[in-house]
Amino acid sequence: MVAIVDSGSTKTDWVILDDFKKVFLKTETIGFNPNFINKELIVPEIEKNNSLASVKNSITRIFFYGSGCGIQKNCETIEEELSKVFANASITVKEDLMAAAYAAYDGKPAIVCIMGTGSNSCYFDGKNLKIKLPSLGFLMGDEGSGSAIGKQLVRRYFMQKLPEDLHREFEETYQLTIDEALKNMYHTTRPNAYLADFNKFVVERKEHPYFQQMVFDEMMNFFDYQVLPYEEAKNAEINFIGSIAYYYENILRSAAAELNLNVGHVVQKPIESLVNYHIKYIL
């Protein structure tokens, strides 16, 4: 059996293929970004998933693509922890941008962007991945991401910048205190996921003019910092992977149009396209 795994900061999608390259099972665990999660939590999180536990000895190959795995040390950490569960498997660990490139590939070169809890970008010509810009994480980067939009919302709430109706609804929904917010941002293992979770509030009210402008500005930041530096940006199709791009697709496309950029595919969950790519090109 072969496991194809796409892991973000919030959740991890697993697809197990049988010996005939057919889907045997699909399941989820929490995200395994090594920059945020304690590595000692990875094995217990996998083992408490009954579906994975039932096939762990039958899996002979694992293709793991994860956020935070653009650093070799983090790749080694993930490989080491996975090997403790899947003792019979050959394990390949690559960064999530590679998964996004594979999932978005339709036969022609394109700029590929991740816009979920975090954000990132690359250029993929079908064989080679070009990453021109570093991933600075949610403290200094991740423009356009769930954590960036969540950070804007929480900041504007506490700084009395939200319109009266949105301020009141936020207060009624969360009853959030500054102490609680700071604790979750500075003293938990997954602060970026905590901030990204506030997108539920924005998505439910995304037609509100204030949020239309707030999200539009954040999308413009994304294009400015993570797309325009690529010389291919003006001509290549720009494809997006991730829930934030999916939920705010209309605003995303409006921001791109403002810059005369061509947005192609917007895919919420890349796992199915990623599996198809492996079946067609790798397995």
pLDDT at 74 over 80: yes
Instruction: Output the pTM of the full model.
Output: 0.79
What pLDDT digit, counting tens, does each position of 101-116 carry?
888 887 789 999 999 8
What pLDDT digit, counting tens, does each position of 146-160 carry?
999 999 999 999 999
In a domain, 262, yes or no: yes
Give yes or no: residues 160 and 253 share one domain: yes
Give yes or no: residues 78 and 142 share one domain: no
More confident residue, 203 or 192: 203
Give kind and range of the element (H or E) at residue 256.
helix 249-258
In a domain, 283, yes or no: no
Could you tell me which residues come within 8 angstroms of residue 159 by beta carbon, excluding any fewer than 6 positions away?
A: none
Query: 191 falls in which pLDDT band (50, 70, 90)?
Result: confident
**pLDDT for res 140:** 73
Give yes or no: residues 115 and 234 share one domain: yes
Give yes or no: residues 145 and 227 share one domain: yes
Do 78 and 19 touch, CB atoms closer than 8 A?
A: no
Give yes or no: residues 155 and 73 share one domain: no
**Final residue of a structural domain among 67, 98, 129:** 98
Percent of the chain with pLDDT over 90: 73
List the CATH number of the domain containing 10.
3.30.420.40
Token representation of residue 158: 């506490």
Give yes or no: residues 118 and 219 share one domain: yes
Query: 70 falls in which pLDDT band (50, 70, 90)?
Result: confident
| Ramachandran assignment for 177, one of left (phi > 0), alpha (psi -120 to 50 degrees), beta (any other) | beta
Nearest residue to 16 via CA among 45, 57, 44, 48: 57
For residue 17, count other CB atoms closer than 10 A to its CB: 20
Query: Domain count of the chain?
Result: 2
**pLDDT for res 142:** 87
Give yes or no: residues 81 and 159 share one domain: no
Structural domain span for residue 218: 105-268
What pLDDT digit, counting tens, does each position of 241-279 carry?
999 999 999 999 999 999 999 999 898 888 988 999 899
Give yes or no: residues 153 and 64 share one domain: no
**Final residue of a structural domain among 98, 132, 155:** 98
In a domain, 274, yes or no: no
Give yes or no: residues 109 and 83 share one domain: no
Give yes or no: residues 144 and 255 share one domain: yes
In a domain, 195, yes or no: yes
In a domain, 115, yes or no: yes
Q: How far apart are CA 66 and CA 219, in angstroms?
A: 23
**pLDDT for res 231:** 93
Percent of the chain with pLDDT over 70: 98
